[in-house]
Amino acid sequence: MMRIVLLGAPGSGKGTQAQRLQAKYGVPQVSSGDLLREAVAQGTELGLKAKSVMDAGQLVSDDIVLGLIRQRLSRPDAAKGFILDGFPRNIDQANSLHALLEDLGQPLDAVLLLDVRHSTLMERLAGRRICPKCGTVYNVHSMAPGATGCSKDGAELFQRPDDKEAVIGKRLEVYEQQTRPLVQHYAKLNLLRTVAGEGELEDVFQRMESAALTRGAPAGKVKVRARKVARSKSSKRKTAAKKPSTKSQAPAKRKSVSGSAKSKSKSKVARRKAVPAKAKAKPASKKAQRKAKAPAKRPARKK
């Protein structure tokens, strides 16, 4: 049994982590965003109402969303638990959810907050691409260069209309104003567990799992931090230092030589030369090996 709410800003990874929890524990992901997008795709009256609000990055009215959630949680598969993703999104919705779950006799076990920096959210949202067939979420920043299709089924990936840069800012603003107060709300109810949401997907998932499965701890005080914080931070620092260095260090070197365009091309040539030189080292050492073996053959020839 797992009855949890995933809390976090747009782009914090709620959907991805919910899908993984669903696959592993057989508890359905209940995403208010997905339910709304289905209604939009079906062209229902409700869907038509919701679409313009969603495209503007605003919140759809509480009664519409609550109706969808109530319907979904009443389905048989939700009797064994649920992973709420994107709901509740404001205090009124949280209170309605509380009442609904009391009616269903299914109180919440925990609320997991995915903690992700603003800059990461921006990058994730702007780069997010989705497979229309299987729903797998990709990011242009981590996809193979030139790839535009789903690696599982080849379907052409698409960008959600509300992931367009103009709307992203609005959605994050709405989160800050309306949804963030839920952090305090659930902390007071001793249900909140904060999970470090950056780093390798698999590591985040493990932290989510342990936060979801922890029982009986003073929930408000549970913080599941990244285990390898020190390492990942330092490796990030390394990559951060490396990245600009290829752009900024190289020109600095050129400048120190002569600062001219010629020296630029010279240093390029030098770099190009350096690579084959390294590559040649291997055959050379093989030659050396053959030479080393040769004396053993010579005495044989003499015979």
C-beta closer to ligand AMP: residue 38 or 257: 38
- Residue 128 corresponds to which amino acid? R
List 37, 49, 70, 160, catalytic entry:
160
- What is the nearest approach in angstroms of ligand AMP to the Cβ of residue 171? 5
* Residue-by-residue DSSP string for 185-220: HHHHTT-EEEEE--S-HHHHHHHHHHHHH--SS-GG
Whole-number Å distance between alpha carbons of 156 and 134: 11
- What is the nearest approach in angstroms of ligand AMP to the Cβ of residue 32? 3
C-beta closer to ligand AMP: residue 61 or 151: 61
| Residue 128 bears catalytic tag | yes
The DSSP letter of residue 143 is S
| Residue 227 bears catalytic tag | no
- What is the nearest approach in angstroms of ligand AMP to the Cβ of residue 93? 6
- What is the nearest approach in angstroms of ligand AMP to the Cβ of residue 170? 9
C-beta closer to ligand AMP: residue 195 or 226: 195
List 3, 72, 89, 124, catalytic entry:
89
Whole-number Å distance between alpha carbons of 58 and 52: 9
List 128, 193, 207, 254, catalytic entry:
128
List 14, 51, 72, 129, catalytic entry:
14
The dihedrals phi and psi of 110, each to the nearest 5 degrees, come to: -165, 160
- The first and second tokens of residue 203, run together, are 């590591």
- The first and second tokens of residue 64, run together, are 């519409």
Which residues of the chain form contacts with ligand AMP (CB under 6 A)?
A: 10, 32-33, 36, 53-54, 57-60, 65, 86-87, 89, 93, 162, 171
| Residue 75 bears catalytic tag | no
Whole-number Å distance between alpha carbons of 29 and 18: 6
C-beta closer to ligand AMP: residue 36 or 114: 36
Whole-number Å distance between alpha carbons of 153 and 224: 35
* Residue-by-residue DSSP string for 112-150: EEEE--HHHHHHHHHHEEE-TTT--EEETTTSPTT--B-
Positions annotated as catalytic residues are: 14, 89, 128, 160, 171
